[in-house]
Structure 1
């Protein structure tokens, strides 16, 4: 019995880390490599290659990740930058190819998400309320961190909806979603908050259109309205006042505000794209930015920022990797929808895929969430989990 529990622990440890610890530490992906190797050794020692032989068959999402990984390796050799994070993607591919399909049970999924939510809220609370740090001074970038909280919240909500018949999982998922939402509020990130409210609005329409009891509908709608009201009220200064003020300043020619600087970044990115539309600049776009500055097409404020990205997922990837990169991003986001259209999936599984993608896309309008390995890992892992057939996840 002890050996069985130890085997289970070592086998599921990388999964739990992927949805919890890996986004709380800067080097979480390096720890993931160690945990994945330990897990693979445990699996091979106890089960041999049988899980691999089963998992390699008709695993289209993993095949897609393999293709993107191969292309990213080529781009890394040419441009010294990754389209997707090579280390993290390699771990995900190897792990899900070798792990026995029945190891990630409903409870492991629910409790791993709960651990991730607690980690997310604890870190944000520590940074904001204990250390009293400004958001920009956090030890981790608050914007992609908020995107991680968003993905955890969506996953928790959908786990609760899918397994609502199991009271323990339902309760755990409700707690997880509330904790994740609390972490989001602490992050105080406008782009992600807009995504949150869009998700809530979609869930509201989903509840209204679903055949269920009137009492349950009223309860869910009340909870959504109350949470949304609390979210808007607690972030009203930044979400509403700062945004309006930023637009006003931009119209007056001042691009120092967050809103104005983002608009200017998008404009700069759109000016760069036609210069290398097919393959892009990679990370070496600074000389082109210097030329734009010399031609007075961008101001000194943006030029002196020495941009790492353009605060828009779609503009940024097109600048760096051209139309090829943009098409790969679209393929990455839409491929799960192709998979769920080819096989019979429950409406709840389809909703989970839709909400996760919608959250990442809306967040990507003002940032580059998928460029951050922590967000990328969370998104890919939960998409993969929700693509699994229900019978593949034990109670």
Structure 2
């Protein structure tokens, strides 16, 4: 019995780490590699290749990830730039191909999400309220960290909807959603906050148009409006005042504020794209930025920022990887809807994929969430899970 439980722990651990610890540590993906290898060895000894033979058949999302990985390797060879994080995505591919998926039960997903949420709020609370650090100097980048919290919150909400009749799952999922939402509030990340409130609006429409009892509708909508109002009230200075002020500064030629700098970055990116429209610049776009500066097409303030990306997932991808990269990005984001169309899924599962995709798209309008390995891993794991039609509660 001890040996069996230990083997089960080894197999489950990488999954729990994917949606909890890997985004709380800067080297979380390296730890993921180690525990994934242990899980794969344990699986091979316990189950052999039986799960692999079952999982590899008709697994279109995994096929997509494999194709994107191969393209990324080829692109890296020519441009020294990765389209996706190979280390993380290979861990996900190998893990979900070799392990028996029934081991990742609804209870495992639910409690792993709770662990991730607790870890998220603990980190944010420690950085902001104990160390009193400005978000710009947090030990982890607050923006992708907030995007991870957004995915956890969305997944927890979806679990509430799908398993509303399972008291344990519902209770734990509500707790996870609230905790993750509070963690996002602490980050004061505007792009993610806008994504949160957009998701709340989608939930409002979903509940209002779904055939459930009036009592449940009123309760859910009341909770949603209350939490949303509290969130807006808490972050109104950051969300509204700072944004309006940033637009004003941009009009006056000041590119130093967060809002103004983003507008200036998008303008610079749109000037760069026509120069390398097909394959993009890779990560070596700094000489082109320097040329724009010498041609007086961008300000010295923007030039001195030494840009790593352009704070928009779609614009940034087009600059770095060209039209080819943009097409691959759109394929990656919208391919799950093709799977949903070709296969019979419940309304709840379809809504799950929509909410996760919608959240990452809205976040991607002001940042590059999918460029961060932690966000990318968390996103593909939950997309993959909700593309599976059923999860047994064990």
What TM-score bracket applies, with the shorter chain setting the length? Answer: over 0.9
Q: Which residue of 1 aligns with 2:111?
A: 111
Q: Which residue of 1 aligns with 2:10?
A: 10
Q: Which residue of 2 aligns with 1:67?
A: 67
Structure 2 distance, partners of 1:102, 1:255, is 52
Q: Which residue of 2 aligns with 1:277?
A: 277
The alignment's C-alpha RMSD in Å is 0.7
- 1:29/1:87 contact within 8 Å kept: yes
- 1:104/1:394 contact within 8 Å kept: no
Q: Which residue of 1 aligns with 2:51?
A: 51
Q: Which residue of 1 aligns with 2:88?
A: 88
Q: Which residue of 2 aligns with 1:333?
A: 333
Counterpart mapping for 1:266-345 below 5 A: 266-345=266-345
- Per-residue deviation, 1:394: 4.2
Q: List alignment gaps of at least 5 residues for structure 1.
A: none
Structure 2 distance, partners of 1:387, 1:375, is 18
Structure 1 distance, partners of 2:66, 2:255, is 41
- Per-residue deviation, 1:366: 0.3
Q: Which residue of 2 aligns with 1:250?
A: 250
Structure 2 distance, partners of 1:160, 1:215, is 16
Structure 1 distance, partners of 2:245, 2:214, is 42
Secondary structure of 1:367 counterpart: coil
- Per-residue displacement from partner, 1:72-103 (whole Å, max 9, x unpaired)? 11111122221000000000000000010210
Structure 1 distance, partners of 2:187, 2:350, is 29
Q: Which residue of 2 aligns with 1:142?
A: 142
Structure 1 distance, partners of 2:392, 2:154, is 19
Whether 1:237 and 2:237 are equivalent positions in the alignment is: yes
Structure 2 distance, partners of 1:79, 1:202, is 40
Distance 1:56 1:394, change over 3 A: farther
Q: How many residue pairs are counted as aligned between the two chains?
A: 394
Whether 1:77 and 2:77 are equivalent positions in the alignment is: yes
Counterpart mapping for 1:137-286 below 5 A: 137-286=137-286
- 2:349/2:389 contact within 8 Å kept: no
Structure 2 distance, partners of 1:254, 1:320, is 26
- Per-residue displacement from partner, 1:144-171 (whole Å, max 9, x unpaired)? 1000000000000001111111100000
Structure 2 distance, partners of 1:6, 1:162, is 30
Q: List alignment gaps of at least 5 residues for structure 2.
A: none
- Per-residue displacement from partner, 1:234-271 (whole Å, max 9, x unpaired)? 11111000001111111122111111000000000010
Once superposed, which parts of structure 1, at least 4 consecutive aligned residues long, lie more than 3 Å away?
A: 392-395
Structure 2 distance, partners of 1:321, 1:244, is 32
Secondary structure of 1:340 counterpart: helix
- 1:102/1:394 contact within 8 Å kept: no
- 1:333/1:357 contact within 8 Å kept: yes
Secondary structure of 1:235 counterpart: helix
Structure 2 distance, partners of 1:254, 1:88, is 39
- 1:101/1:393 contact within 8 Å kept: no
Structure 2 distance, partners of 1:201, 1:37, is 41
**More deviation, 175-184/244-253:** 244-253
Q: Which residue of 1 aligns with 2:372?
A: 372
- 1:255/1:264 contact within 8 Å kept: yes
